């Protein structure tokens, strides 16, 4: 037997209604905020992700599915959407056409990570990106959309963690101070963190090593290095969140695992997730459009992991009453009525009802059993007499009542 690739999962029919449910919510809420969907190919030239996500990051160093295709080009299965989406906007000249672009996406992404609960090699993200505003209002709109989405799904007790990485100037100042500190404690740090000093020092703030964490307690914090402009932006974001009653916690050690961020960064965490507690994250990326060959355009967005979202929703029991109900199961006394049965099914489907026909020529008794097992509301019983007289017997399986109905009356029948 051939197995699926490690870290990938089939989404089986019994589970699909949960996916449809959250996908419908994504569509509905993004529509309320005026966001439009954008779809891009699942693979891109490697350079789309390489420099933008950053050479010192885990994603680029260890996690990308990169291969050379038959013409010798380096191709990467997308590990995230933001860089691919910006590539598409620049290529299609969309930023020149409308100053503000509000976009959303949903689809599969690929990272070669060690699989565990809530961590897969093919996973799904839902995300939004708002391009064309440098102001705090856009950071706030993005977070507000996420908040509305979570609440509409019944998630009220998530944690929003927020930080500012400031503009480039602030970040450079901070990096110098932080490097000084790191050098003074270098020998005490974990091997991983020591290696990062030269490649991506800010990521050390994110270290999961207990000893590193203790040492970092005394490290300088980025919020003390924000210049006027950066501070003003961050203050405007937190003030608005407060006024809008969106709870948050500031964590000056939050840096996120992608290099394109500036100013606001944030993550959504949930206690229902265990060690992979972050189910969404995002931030501002004012330099990315220019980096990918477009005109300098400020932007902000976020993405959430749909598998992690579903883990939370399952624990909240919100899928409890989502049985996939059938309206009618057509039961024939004999197989001679099968064409008539399919005609009747057509009439019923024309009214928007979900109807199943018997396909295995089973006995009437077996068909009735199937009708009950499939949780159908009605058994539509057909025999020789019914065919002759253009009618059906409609048996209400929930109330054990039945009546004869002419085909001509089926259209107006109140099911
Ligand atoms: P990210 O934090 O790398 O951000 O990913 C966003 C979310 O995707 C995570 O919070 C997590 O829920 C989910 N995720 C990531 N990797 C995995 C995995 N291996 N298995 C399951 N779920 C996973 C981004 O990707 C940015 N593009 C977000 C963004 C949008 N920033 C600005 N705009």
What is the mean pLDDT of the segment spanning 183-205?
Answer: 91
What pLDDT, on the 0 to 100 scale, is given for residue 98? Answer: 79
What pLDDT, on the 0 to 100 scale, is given for residue 322? Answer: 74
**Measured in angstroms, how far is the CA atom of residue 24 from the centroid of ligand 1?**
20
What is the mean pLDDT of the segment spanning 304-332?
Answer: 91
> Smallest Cα–Cα separation from 222: which of 265, 281, 259?
265
pTM score, whole prediction: 0.93
The strand order across the sheet containing 74-77 reads 43-45, 74-77, 65-68
What pLDDT, on the 0 to 100 scale, is given for residue 206? Answer: 85
Judged against a pLDDT cut of 80, whether residue 205 lies above it is answered with yes
265 vs 297: CA distance, rounded Å: 17
Atom of ligand 1 nearest to the CA of 278: 10
Residue nearest to atom 15 of ligand 1 (CA): 305
Q: Which residues contact 256 (CB under 8 A, 6 or more apart)?
A: 206, 265, 267, 281, 283
What pLDDT, on the 0 to 100 scale, is given for residue 324? Answer: 74
What pLDDT, on the 0 to 100 scale, is given for residue 321? Answer: 72
287 vs 234: CA distance, rounded Å: 17
211 vs 213: CA distance, rounded Å: 5
What is the mean pLDDT of the segment spanning 348-370?
Answer: 96
The highest-confidence range among 176-180, 197-201, 322-326, by mean pLDDT, is 176-180
What residue ranges line ligand 1, CB within 6 angstroms?
Answer: 80-82, 111, 113, 118-120, 123, 125, 127, 129, 257-258, 278-283, 285, 301-305, 307-308
63 vs 52: CA distance, rounded Å: 15
> pLDDT > 90: what percent of the chain?
89
CA torsion 180→183→186→187, rounded to 10°?
-140
Residue 400: band (very low, low, confident or very high) from pLDDT cuts 50, 70, 90: confident
Residue 369: band (very low, low, confident or very high) from pLDDT cuts 50, 70, 90: very high
**DSSP secondary structure, 311-335, as one string:** HHHHHTTTTTT-----SEEEEESSG
**Measured in angstroms, how far is the CA atom of residue 173 from the centroid of ligand 1?**
28
**Strand ranges (E), 144-222:** 159-164
Residue among 155, 303, 309 to mutate when testing ligand 1 (max atoms within 8 A of CB) = 303
Tell me how crowded residue 378 is: count the other CB atoms within 10 A of its CB. Answer: 25
**Measured in angstroms, how far is the CA atom of residue 278 from the centroid of ligand 1?**
9
**Measured in angstroms, how far is the CA atom of residue 118 from the centroid of ligand 1?**
11
Residue 344: band (very low, low, confident or very high) from pLDDT cuts 50, 70, 90: very high
| Structure-token pair, residue 347 | 């009439």
For the chain, the average pLDDT equals 95
> Smallest Cα–Cα separation from 20: which of 111, 116, 121, 124?
124
Looking only at the bridges linking them, the beta strands covering 391-396 and 378-382 are antiparallel
**Measured in angstroms, how far is the CA atom of residue 16 from the centroid of ligand 1?**
22
Judged against a pLDDT cut of 90, whether residue 166 lies above it is answered with yes
**What 3-state class would DSSP assign to 370?**
helix
**Measured in angstroms, how far is the CA atom of residue 303 from the centroid of ligand 1?**
6
Judged against a pLDDT cut of 90, whether residue 352 lies above it is answered with yes
**Strand ranges (E), 222-363:** 249-250, 262-269, 278-284, 299-305, 328-332, 355-356
Q: Taking the domains of the chain in order of start, what are their residue ranges?
A: 13-167+227-315, 326-410
> pLDDT > 70: what percent of the chain?
100
Please count the CA atoms within 13 angstroms of the CA of 83 that sit on its side-chain side.
Answer: 27
**Is-contact 337 383, C-beta < 8 A?**
yes
C-alpha gyration radius of the chain: 28
**Is-contact 261 233, C-beta < 8 A?**
no
Residue among 124, 125, 160, 162 to mutate when testing ligand 1 (max atoms within 8 A of CB) = 125
> Smallest Cα–Cα separation from 133: which of 106, 98, 162?
98
Protein fold of 13-167+227-315: BirA Bifunctional Protein; domain 2 (3.30.930)
Q: Phi and psi for 99 in degrees, rounded to 5? A: -65, -35
What pLDDT, on the 0 to 100 scale, is given for residue 199? Answer: 86
Judged against a pLDDT cut of 90, whether residue 349 lies above it is answered with yes
Judged against a pLDDT cut of 90, whether residue 181 lies above it is answered with yes
Atom of ligand 1 nearest to the CA of 284: 32
Residue nearest to atom 13 of ligand 1 (CA): 305
Judged against a pLDDT cut of 80, whether residue 137 lies above it is answered with yes
What digits encode the pLDDT tens for the residues 218-248?
Answer: 999 999 999 999 999 999 999 999 999 999 9
**DSSP assigned state of 3:** P
77 vs 252: CA distance, rounded Å: 32
Q: Which residues contact 336 (CB under 8 A, 6 or more apart)?
A: 384
Residue nearest to atom 17 of ligand 1 (CA): 119
Tell me how crowded residue 267 is: count the other CB atoms within 10 A of its CB. Answer: 20
Q: Which residues contact 46 (CB under 8 A, 6 or more apart)?
A: 64, 66, 74, 75, 76
What digits encode the pLDDT tens for the residues 74-119?
Answer: 999 999 999 999 999 999 999 987 789 999 999 999 999 999 999 9
**Is-contact 66 98, C-beta < 8 A?**
no
What pLDDT, on the 0 to 100 scale, is given for residue 353? Answer: 96
What pLDDT, on the 0 to 100 scale, is given for residue 82? Answer: 98
What is the mean pLDDT of the segment spanning 7-20?
Answer: 95
What pLDDT, on the 0 to 100 scale, is given for residue 277? Answer: 84
Atom of ligand 1 nearest to the CA of 279: 12
Judged against a pLDDT cut of 90, whether residue 139 lies above it is answered with yes
Atom of ligand 1 nearest to the CA of 267: 10
Residue 343: band (very low, low, confident or very high) from pLDDT cuts 50, 70, 90: very high
Atom of ligand 1 nearest to the CA of 308: 12
Atom of ligand 1 nearest to the CA of 83: 27
Residue 207: band (very low, low, confident or very high) from pLDDT cuts 50, 70, 90: confident
> Looking at domain 326-410, which of 3.40.50.300, 3.40.50.800, 3.30.420.40, 3.30.110.40 is its CATH number?
3.40.50.800
Quick check: do 13-167+227-315 and 326-410 share a fold?
A: no
What is the mean pLDDT of the segment spanning 60-86?
Answer: 97
Residue 200: band (very low, low, confident or very high) from pLDDT cuts 50, 70, 90: confident
255 vs 301: CA distance, rounded Å: 15
What is the mean pLDDT of the segment spanning 130-149?
Answer: 98
Residue nearest to atom 11 of ligand 1 (CA): 305
């Amino acid at each position: 037997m051939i197995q699926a690739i490690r870290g990938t999962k089939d989404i089986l029919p019994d589970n699909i209604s949960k996916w449809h449910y959250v996908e419908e919510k994504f569509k509905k809420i993004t529509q309320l905020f005026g966001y439009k969907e954008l779809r891009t190919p699942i693979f891109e030239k490697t350079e789309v992700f390489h420099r933008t996500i950053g050479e010192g990051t885990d994603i680029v160093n260890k996690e990308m599915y990169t291969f050379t295709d038959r013409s010798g080009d380096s191709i990467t299965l997308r590990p995230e959407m933001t860089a691919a989406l910006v590539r598409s906007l620049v290529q299609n000249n969309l930023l020149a056409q409308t100053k503000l672009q509000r976009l959303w996406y949903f689809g599969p992404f690929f990272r070669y990570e060690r699989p565990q609960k809530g961590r897969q090699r093919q996973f799904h993200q839902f995300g939004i990106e708002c391009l064309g505003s440098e102001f705090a209002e856009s950071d706030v709109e993005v977070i507000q959309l996420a908040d509305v989405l979570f609440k509409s799904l019944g998630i009220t007790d998530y944690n929003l963690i927020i930080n500012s990485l400031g503009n480039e100037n602030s970040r450079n100042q901070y990096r110098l101070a932080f490097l000084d500190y790191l050098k003074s404690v270098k020998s005490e740090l974990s091997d991983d963190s020591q290696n990062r000093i030269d490649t991506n020092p800010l990521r050390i703030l994110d270290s999961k090593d207990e000893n590193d964490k203790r040492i970092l307690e005394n490290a300088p914090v980025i919020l003390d290095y924000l210049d006027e402009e950066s501070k003003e932006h961050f203050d405007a974001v937190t003030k608005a969140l407060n006024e809008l009653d969106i709870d948050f916690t500031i964590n000056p050690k939050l840096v996120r695992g992608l290099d394109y961020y500036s100013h606001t960064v944030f993550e959504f965490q949930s206690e229902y997730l265990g060690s992979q507690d972050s189910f969404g994250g995002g931030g501002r990326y004012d330099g990315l459009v220019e980096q990918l060959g477009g005109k300098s355009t400020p932007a902000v967005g976020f993405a959430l992991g749909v598998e992690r979202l579903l883990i939370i929703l399952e624990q909240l029991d919100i899928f409890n009453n989502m049985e996939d109900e059938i309206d009618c199961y057509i039961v024939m006394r004999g197989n001679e009525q099968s064409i008539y049965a399919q005609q009747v099914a057509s009439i019923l489907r024309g009214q928007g009802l979900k109807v199943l026909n018997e396909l295995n020529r089973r006995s009437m008794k077996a068909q009735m059993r199937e009708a009950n097992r499939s949780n159908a509301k009605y058994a539509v019983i057909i025999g020789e007499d019914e065919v002759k007289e253009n009618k059906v017997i409609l048996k209400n399986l929930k109330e054990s009542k039945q009546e004869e109905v002419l085909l001509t009356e089926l259209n107006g029948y109140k099911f």
